[in-house]
Amino acid sequence: MGDVCLHVAGMKTSERCEEACPLPGLGKETAVIKGALEPMATKTRGTARSKLSDYRRKRDFTRTREPEGESAKSTRSTSARPRKRASTLHFVVQKHAASQLHFDFRLELDGVMKSWAVPKGPSYDPSVRRLAMEVEDHPIEYNTFEGTIPQGEYGGGTVMLWDRGTYEPENGGGVEALREGYARGDLKFRLEGQRLRGGWVLVRMKRPGRPQWLLIKHRDEFASSARDVVEEEMTSVVSGRTMDDIAAGKKRASSAPRRKPAAKKSAARRSR
């Protein structure tokens, strides 16, 4: 696991850093990172009010159409609103073509979406451990965001809703088990998405700096070392659009099939 990212983990002065950059060939910079960390990571835990402050500080909402988040509206009393029942918690995975393509994995917890940037995306293979860099909490409203963040803005690039659904702690225990797992750095959960299902774990690595986790599939009936879900699923789970469709501002999916036409492709190759 030499792929520590200086761009993220070593970030000091610039807050405009992309949230993920799974850069190949960064191995040589790993040593620099280890020696020179200023852990802004310690900020990840905060009170409910401050949870979205990182999220908001990084963005200019006059320029991006990303949601500001309800708790951002300072004058409104949020305490008066009935709290959403905690029994159904949602997750979302967004494919994000920022300066480096990555998948943003978000789990609802205590009124925000805890968020990880997963450079290679999830894998159904239990022997595969995918680096998941924890990033700032996102508002719940981010769960419906699909579109393009303007270039030059934080995270500039196309965002696709790649999967969504509900999740729960793998072994019961309700939201308390999730809080405890998150705090301990060993978060086990079951996903009920359209593309991601079954048991998974996020394990926090003991490293200085911004928290880095590993996303790993548990062995169960959904696990498979044969499938590559990131390659299989190339369209929005909501709109059916491809990344190109979204980037082009198309309202609807182009006539392309929802799944990668693997059979067609090989047929075309044969006919050449």
Residue nearest to Mn ion (CB): 96
Instruction: Assess 54 for contact with Mn ion (CB under 5 A).
Output: no
Task: Look up residue 38 and give its DSSP letter.
Answer: -
User: What separation in angstroms does the CA of 254 have from each of 39, 97, 159, 248?
Assistant: 44, 19, 17, 11
Region near Mn ion per CB under 5 A, out of 88-96, 160-168, 190-198, 212-220: 88-96
Which residue in the set 7, 51, 95, 96 belongs to the binding site for Mn ion (CB under 5 A)?
96
With respect to Mn ion, which residue has the nearer C-beta, 19 or 245?
Answer: 19
Region near Mn ion per CB under 5 A, out of 98-106, 176-184, 187-195, 230-238: 98-106
Parallel/antiparallel/unpaired status of strands 212-217 and 197-204: antiparallel
With respect to Mn ion, which residue has the nearer C-beta, 14 or 47?
Answer: 14
Q: How far apart are CA 70 and CA 26, in angstroms?
A: 38
Q: How far apart are CA 50 and CA 69, in angstroms?
A: 12
Q: How far apart are CA 166 and CA 108, in angstroms?
A: 9
Residue 60 Cβ vs Mn ion, minimum distance, rounded to whole Å: 16
With respect to Mn ion, which residue has the nearer C-beta, 96 or 130?
Answer: 96
With respect to Mn ion, which residue has the nearer C-beta, 117 or 223?
Answer: 117
Residue 253 near residue 245 (C-beta atoms within 8 A): yes
Q: Which of residues 11-30 bind Mn ion (CB under 5 A)?
A: 19
Q: What angle do CA 263, 268, 270 make, to 5 degrees?
A: 95
Residue 43 Cβ vs Mn ion, minimum distance, rounded to whole Å: 18
Residue 222 near residue 203 (C-beta atoms within 8 A): no
Q: Identify residue 25 by its one-letter amino acid code.
A: G
Q: Which residues partner with 106 through β-bridges?
A: 92, 115
With respect to Mn ion, which residue has the nearer C-beta, 132 or 201?
Answer: 132
Residue 119 Cβ vs Mn ion, minimum distance, rounded to whole Å: 10
Alpha helices in the chain (DSSP H): 6-9, 30-35, 53-57, 174-184, 229-232, 243-247, 262-271
Size of the site for Mn ion (CB under 5 A): 3
Which residue in the set 104, 134, 136, 233 belongs to the binding site for Mn ion (CB under 5 A)?
104
Residue 249 Cβ vs Mn ion, minimum distance, rounded to whole Å: 20
Residue 51 Cβ vs Mn ion, minimum distance, rounded to whole Å: 18
**Where on the chain is the footprint of Mn ion (CB under 5 A)?**
19, 96, 104
